[in-house]
Structure 1
Amino acid sequence: MKNIKVLGTGCSKCKTTYNNVLEAIKQLGIDAKVTKIEDIEEMMKYNILTTPVLMIDEVAKIKGRIAQIEEIKELLK
């Protein structure tokens, strides 16, 4: 099972990235745990400067921009 985290303060880019993650998982039909982290102190633990951030299995894959559905699917394969 993939462990996916979307770090962001709740801005529209963060929400879009989160929704794109859910859609990518649905399209691939894979089992994944998706967590949305909006708490600033929690985000600081990951040493993140720009949001949104897409993390897969504790590795930051995309930072500072919206992760597109096709891009997420490639990262999850």
Structure 2
Amino acid sequence: MKIEILGTGCSKCNKTKEVIEKVLKNDGVEAEVVKIEDVEKILNYGVMITPAVVIDGEVKLVGKVPDEKEIRKWISQ
């Protein structure tokens, strides 16, 4: 599983990465977590508001920090 966090480095983007990594560690799930800060790459996903979360190429969330419940739902699918 590849999880991409789209954002230019704002506090919400950093918090999104922290929360995702925490859930993965606590649940014992292996995933590649990548932070994408390149605006052009972010726009290629059609994302205009960050933070955004992309899992295996599919945009899951835009414009807010996900909660742990949402993340667990995504990684269990």
For normalisation by structure 1, the TM-score amounts to 0.92
1:42 and 1:59 map into 2 onto residues whose CA distance is 14
Q: Deviation string for 1:2-35 (max 9, x for gaps)?
A: 1100001111110000111101110110110010
Alignment of 1:1-77 (within 5 A): 2-77=1-76
Deviating beyond 3 angstroms after TM superposition, the runs of 4 or more aligned structure 1 residues are none
Structure 1: which amino acid aligns with 2:55? I
1:70 deviates by 2.4
* Count of paired positions: 76
Question: Are the equivalent residues in 2 in contact too, given 1:6–1:36 (CA < 8 A)?
Answer: yes
Q: CA separation in 2, counterparts of 1:16 and 1:23?
A: 10
Listed as ranges, the gaps of 5+ residues in structure 2 are: none
Shift of 1:38: 0.7
Q: CA RMSD in A?
A: 0.9
Determine the C-alpha separation between the residues in 2 that align with 1:31 and 1:53: 20
Q: Is the 8 A contact 1:3 1:33 kept in 2?
A: yes
Identical columns (%)? 37
